[in-house]
Chain A
């Protein structure tokens, strides 16, 4: 059974088309696999077995066509993406047992493509965190070492894919929440250009930064899923009115002559030397493959984390005002009047990290602080965008480490917000500029995966997949598996 769950989407599709495997058998075995590995990984918050099996049976009855590559493939959904068939909690007590009356646009698209949604995946509460330890419900473990964090906030989405529970999951990325856990778990995570994918039905954390994206074990699988979930949506005014190319059509074109920029600021103090070594080795591979690699400078990188925490928290303080004990889920039983309904429900319903960010946001938007904090952060954002514009005038892609370190120990950083925030220092700038960023496995340090970050031009995902695929074809890092998936 383990062998089936080492297979990628393309391989599973061939088995489904040739009828060596039915969608119902694959779905049933997916739930067996989840049940067998959940005690170690703890990635799921809800499962949807009966509904998934019925959907698979329907697909088998219709038949899976050769060109319908995602039909019958199991998928896990991060728990901040609303679903009609399963509860959506954003890993918060305040939304315990909440059932949406509608599906998010990405969920509609996943269903239309024939993917089978098997469950909802654990995350940091309201996507605020870098280790999935702020979840109200459980602590997901890293697929490679169960004493380590899976990263966050899409920790459940990453660990489930790396542990072979599902071949693909959806995550969301506000400051690195797809790429950092992808790096920590040795998988492929794509945060597309802001506007590429509809955010309708994504529980908003920071509206100007949030973006949904796919997490998979291979580059091509990732491109196949991005094909299915991208596109303009009238329900999201920030979604881009652009044609969506087939991201797999140029994936095999290679990197000969491609111009790659390597920003020196991403290799500075605080970035582990073994991570630096693995990433530099990966960049050498690109040179061997015919790419032109040059060092560049993104001088405002160091302001990214500070500006991000002001902007993201300010937007969160506004977005999370709707959780007031009246309209959704949890209400404090102690409230004796309307004001107490708000205050007590929010105080009992939100966890510490969420409260701290709401308060930082309220503080930075208050009359005496607005110019010094919120406006200043907006100016830092402009300067970071200008840095990227200058580099992209001359280069096709930027490459750097995804994270400063490999996965850290459970409980190690949870009481130290600054150390935790710094784990996103290399991913935040792309969210600030709305650029696409992805992480692919590029080596190991202390037995744990290291991620190579590829940053693209706006809507340049096809170029990024081309580069990522060339690396994957030339190396074996993605073939090494965690023990839980049959590795050694």
Chain B
């Protein structure tokens, strides 16, 4: 299946990635070669074959739903890029900040 730059940019957008024009060209070429490689799978007659998505030996694992006090707020906040007053700080959600909310 041929893939073009427009489709690559759409997949990038779904993946929360943006590509420059130069990157888009490189990714289109390399993704095309990978997609052509995986099309080998078309040879397989999958009629009546169940797909496998896990090889784990335990299929369902249950436990009591018990609340535990973690009390690690400071340690966790120390690992995010920016904090203020004990909260994770991110840029304004609206493009023009609070005024537009």
Q: Which chain A residues have a beta carbon within 8 Å of chain B's beta carbons?
A: 98-99, 101, 194-195, 208, 234, 237-242, 300, 302-303, 305-307, 309-311, 317, 321, 324-331, 335-338, 340-344, 346-347, 350, 352, 355-356, 358-360, 362-364, 366, 372-373, 375-383, 385, 417-418, 421, 432-434, 458
Contacts and interface: CB of A to CB of B under 8 A. Distances in A.
A195 B52 contact: no
Contact of B92 (A324, A337, A346): A337
Given A417-B33, A418-B33, A329 B16 contact: no
Contacts of A208: 53-56
A346 B16 CA distance: 7
A326 B82 CA distance: 8
A38 B12 CA distance: 38
B72 to A, nearest CB: 6
B91 A338 contact: yes
B58 A359 contact: no
B55 A434 contact: yes
A330 B88 CA distance: 14
Classify the secondary structure of A's interface with B: helix
A462 B81 CA distance: 46
Contacts of A340: 91
Nearest to A338: B93
A372 B40 CA distance: 11
7 contacts: A241-B58, A300-B44, A325-B81, A337-B95, A342-B16, A356-B34, A379-B46
Classify the secondary structure of B's interface with A: loop
A175 to B, nearest CB: 14
Contacts of B54: 208, 238
Contacts of B79: 98-99, 101, 327-329
A377 B41 contact: yes
Contact of B82 (A331, A338, A358): A331
Interface string B8-28: 100110111111000100110
Interface residues of B, number: 53
B50 interface: yes
A309 B94 CA distance: 38
B28 to A, nearest CB: 10
Nearest to A305: B37
A237 B17 contact: no
B80 A327 contact: yes
A328 B72 CA distance: 15
Contacts of B93: 337-338
Contacts of B23: 352
B74 to A, nearest CB: 10
B38 interface: yes
Nearest to B40: A306
Contacts of A300: 44
A302 B40 contact: yes
Given A306-B41, A325-B81, A101 B72 contact: yes
Contacts of A355: 12, 15, 17, 27
A378 B51 contact: yes
A421 B37 contact: yes
Given A302-B40, A417-B34, 7 more contacts: A239-B58, A240-B57, A327-B79, A329-B81, A343-B18, A363-B11, A377-B41
B76 interface: yes
B57 A359 contact: no
Given A195-B56, A302-B40, A341 B91 contact: yes
A337 B101 CA distance: 13
A344 B14 CA distance: 14
B55 A194 contact: yes
